Amino acid sequence: MANREPDVSEWGVLTATEGYGRPDSQEDYEQISYEDAMGKTWGKNGEKPYRHAAHAMIYAPDGKKLWDMYENKAVILMMMRFDGYIGFPGGIMDDGETVEFGLNRELEEEIGLDPTRHSFTKEDHVLSYVTHNKRLLLHFYCKKVTLEECLEIEKRTIDADEYGWEVLGPIRVPMFTLNDNERGLPIFLSNKFIGNAKEELLYCIERENIMTKEEIQLALENCEKFKARYMR
Return mean pLDDT, the chain.
90
* pLDDT at residue 42 in the model: 82
Q: What was the pLDDT predicted at 11?
A: 60
Tell me: the pLDDT tens digits for 103-137? 999 999 999 999 999 999 999 999 999 998 888 99
Between CA 158 and CA 112 the distance in angstroms is 8
In words, the CATH class of domain 25-174 is alpha beta
What pTM does this model have? 0.90
Domain boundaries, the chain: 25-174
Reported as a single tens digit per residue, the pLDDT across 156-208 is: 999 999 999 999 999 999 999 999 999 999 999 999 999 999 999 999 999 99
